[in-house]
């Protein structure tokens, strides 16, 4: 057949008939496999059809274009591009070149010149405004619709708008308002009647429906991104009313939920995310987004229920190839595939959700549940099964040492000290060989640092590990070993030297919440290690060492903000050493600042990792007996102290 077709004049009726039959045979081959549920066979047939159509197109385009062969040539190109679109999961530069080449051949048959600098948009305008035969018009309109889909996928809405104005009425480009709704233009386009036509892989009418849905959906996403939420809701509602797959309907509902979430209409947002799951349970981002709303609303049980359901769904979730979802080849999924949509409809991975559950349980002190989830997560780290899903994720896992430290903190809360020490040792062993001898940080402007962040992480992780080890030894009442662990923590932290540029001598003490979190963590850990070591020295009867360490700890506090109850440690030591006047003086100063200090400490805690919040100021209780003695001392010595103050 190939030798005969190449030898004949392309205008010959027999040749066109053979090419038409070859095109139809390829389409029949595809349609026969369209109902198959075997995704591999479907894709293989897709590839075969594309290859066969490509060969057929090469035969047709190997000869000069004629008014007789051009309608079939554009139809074969249309079919081939549709199959190629599925194989590449979207439009590419090659599609642009293929359409451009075809339009050039159209110009040749119409005896129209082409300026080399003419864009595709201008090229379409020139062709559609020319006198075109009815036979060519149908195939040209189909290809134009495919061009519109390509431009939609690239957010070239202006070009799509102009194209469909010419497809509908071919007005002068300067007339008409460009802000006219794109979907109205597309709906007014009279797609070629193909009720009895079996020459195309997908009818122009169905492609028109896809374009309407895609245009409304895309405009809704763009409006949502720019903060025009009311218009976004209108566009998305229009997209939801259009013909689309369950997957796209679920994504539309998800975006609607995001719009209402941004408008703080949380119940409405939750309803749309529920509808998204009902439309397609594979669209799991609604569960994740719902959990975030429940968290904001303070509904912890509902939040955890949503996360647990999401984790269960993700464990059994397998992504199916998109070409197996529908018999229609050009779909909204292949057009509206933009990053802002992806970020809205993407759920975290299975193990990221597992971490969210563990972390949340630890925050609300459901430590038994937290431990179970953390240990599952650590087991996944060991065998590598946590590396699933696509990135970026809306809730990525933190660094592995952080997860280990949170696990250790949860185990300490559950009094599983030996297990906690095993987990902590893993952090120490992983960081031992990468900790620098010294690290200098430069604080600039508003506490911005210029430093080797990774080296800082290594030191803080290792120091945190030793701080938690010291806490365990405290609980086991081994004061000597506790002192050793706190000393190791302090020695690591002293490797970090912070210098101030622009003549800054200290941090801005009045704006803790705006400080760099790592610097706040550094100061808090240093203060905690000194205070805890001082407490252990006191247990060992070493009062001078205890006093020195507690004083150093209070000096190291960020913004001179003492931990709740930490000041009592200094009072206790001074009182025990019979330095009552100093104790009274410090107590008065502490009382005056107690309210503001409590508020500022809450701001400090928000900058700390969870594993430090749990244990950094643990074990500094206010001693009622000491307070009673101090109050009695003040009452008995008020007059004497007043004389001293006057003198």
Q: Are 490 and 527 in contact (CB under 8 A)?
A: no
Q: Any bridge partners for residue 499, and if so which?
A: 442
Whole-model pTM: value is: 0.83
For the ranges 128-132, 195-199, 350-354, 568-572, the one whose mean pLDDT is highest: 350-354
Structure confidence by residue, pLDDT tens digits, 67-97: 889 999 999 999 999 999 988 888 999 999 9
- Give the number of other CB atoms < 10 A from CB of residue 530: 24
pLDDT value at residue 151: 95
- Residue 114 is predicted with a pLDDT of 75
Strand pairing class (448-450; 439-444): antiparallel
Nearest to 70 by CA among 106, 46, 95, 100: 106
Helix (H) or strand (E) run with residue 298 in it? none
Question: Does the pLDDT value for residue 215 go beyond 80?
Answer: yes
For the ranges 79-83, 141-145, 331-335, 386-390, the lowest mean pLDDT is seen at 386-390
| Phi, psi for residue 564 in degrees, rounded to 5 | -55, 125
Q: Answer for the pair 473, 523: CB distance below 8 angstroms, yes or no.
A: no
Query: Which whole-number Å values give the CA distances from 71 to 9, 63, 125, 153, 227, in the listed order?
Result: 16, 14, 19, 26, 45
Tens of pLDDT, residues 356-395: 999 999 999 999 999 999 999 999 988 776 665 444 678 8
Q: Give the residue with greater pLDDT, 518 vs 70.
A: 70
Averaged pLDDT, 605-616: 88
pLDDT (tens digit per residue) in 174-210: 444 444 588 889 999 998 877 656 788 888 999 999 9
- For residue 462, name the pLDDT band (cuts at 50, 70, 90): very high
Q: Which has the higher per-residue pLDDT, 32 or 166?
A: 166
User: What pLDDT is attached to residue 387?
Assistant: 61
Query: What's the pLDDT at 294?
Result: 97
Provide the mean pLDDT of the chain.
84
Q: How many CB atoms lie within 10 A of CB 207?
A: 23
Cβ atoms of 599 and 560 within 8 Å: the answer is no
**Whether residue 286 has pLDDT greater than 80:** yes
Alpha-carbon distance of 224 to 230, in angstroms, equals 9
Least confident span in 2-11, 34-43, 337-346, 407-416? 2-11
pLDDT band at 253 (very low <50, low <70, confident <90, very high): very high
How sure is the predictor about 625, in pLDDT bands with cuts at 50, 70 and 90? low
Alpha helices in 154-281 (DSSP H): 157-168, 182-188, 204-225, 229-241, 246-262, 266-279
């Amino acid at each position: 057949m190939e030798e005969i077709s190449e030898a004949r004049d392309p205008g010959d009726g027999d040749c066109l008939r053979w090419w038409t039959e070859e095109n139809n045979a390829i389409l029949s081959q595809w349609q026969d496999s369209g109902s198959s549920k075997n995704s591999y066979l479907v894709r293989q047939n897709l590839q075969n059809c594309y290859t066969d159509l490509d060969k057929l197109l090469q035969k047709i385009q190997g000869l000069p274009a004629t008014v007789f062969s051009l309608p079939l040539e554009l139809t074969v190109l249309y079919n081939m591009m549709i199959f190629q679109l599925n194989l590449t999961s979207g439009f590419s530069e090659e599609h642009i070149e293929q359409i451009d080449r075809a339009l050039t051949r159209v110009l040749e048959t119409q005896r129209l010149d082409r300026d080399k600098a003419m864009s595709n948009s201008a090229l379409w305008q020139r062709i559609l405004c020319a006198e075109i035969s009815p036979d060519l018009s149908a195939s040209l309109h189909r290809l134009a619709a495919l061009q519109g889909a390509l431009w939609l996928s690239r957010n070239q809405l202006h070009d799509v708008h102009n194209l469909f104005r010419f497809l509908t009425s071919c007005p002068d480009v300067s007339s008409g308002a460009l802000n006219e709704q794109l979907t109205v233009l597309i709906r007014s386009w009279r797609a070629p009647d193909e009720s009895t036509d079996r020459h195309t892989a997908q009818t122009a009418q169905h492609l028109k429906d896809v374009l309407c849905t895609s245009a409304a959906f895309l405009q809704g996403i763009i409006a949502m991104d720019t903060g025009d939420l009311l218009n976004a809701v209108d566009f998305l509602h229009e997209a939801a009313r259009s013909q689309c797959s369950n997957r796209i309907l679920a994504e539309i509902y998800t975006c609607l939920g995001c719009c209402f979430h941004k408008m703080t209409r949380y119940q409405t947002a939750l309803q749309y995310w529920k509808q998204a799951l009902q439309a397609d349970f594979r669209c799991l981002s609604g569960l994740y987004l719902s959990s975030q709303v429940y968290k904001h609303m303070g509904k912890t049980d509902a939040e955890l229920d949503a996360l647990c359901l999401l984790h269960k769904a993700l464990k059994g979730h397998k992504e199916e190839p998109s070409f197996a979802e529908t018999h229609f080849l050009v779909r909204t999924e292949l057009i509206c595939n933009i990053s802002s949509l992806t970020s809205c409809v993407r759920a975290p991975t299975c193990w990221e959700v597992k971490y969210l559950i563990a972390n949340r349980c630890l925050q609300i002190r459901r430590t038994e549940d937290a431990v179970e989830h953390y240990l599952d997560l650590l087991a996944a780290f060991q065998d590598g099964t946590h590396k699933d899903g696509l990135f970026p994720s809306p809730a990525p896992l933190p660094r592995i040492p952080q997860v280990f430290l949170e696990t250790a903190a949860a185990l300490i809360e559950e009094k599983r000290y030996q297990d906690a020490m095993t987990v902590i040792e893993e952090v120490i062993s992983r960081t031992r060989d990468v900790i620098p001898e010294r690290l200098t940080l430069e604080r600039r402007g508003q506490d911005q640092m210029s430093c080797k962040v990774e080296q800082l992480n290594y030191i803080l992780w290792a120091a945190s590990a030793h701080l938690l080890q010291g806490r365990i030894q405290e609980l086991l009442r081994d004061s000597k070993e506790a002192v050793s662990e706190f000393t190791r923590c302090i020695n690591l932290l002293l490797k970090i030297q912070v210098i101030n540029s622009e003549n800054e001598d200290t941090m801005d003490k009045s704006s803790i919440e705006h400080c760099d979190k790592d610097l706040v963590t550094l100061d808090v850990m240093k203060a905690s290690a000194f205070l805890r070591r001082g407490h252990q020295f006191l247990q060992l009867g070493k009062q001078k060492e205890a006093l020195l360490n507690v004083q150093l700890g209070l000096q190291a506090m960020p913004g001179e903000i003492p931990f709740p109850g930490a000041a009592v440690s200094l009072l206790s030591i001074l009182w025990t050493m019979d330095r009552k006047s100093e104790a009274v003086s410090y107590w008065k100063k502490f009382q005056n600042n107690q309210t503001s200090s409590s508020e500022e400490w809450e701001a400090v805690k928000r900058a700390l990792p969870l594993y430090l919040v749990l244990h950094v100021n643990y074990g500094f209780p206010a001693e009622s007996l000491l307070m009673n003695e101090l109050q009695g001392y003040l009452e008995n010595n008020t007059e004497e102290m007043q004389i001293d103050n006057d003198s």
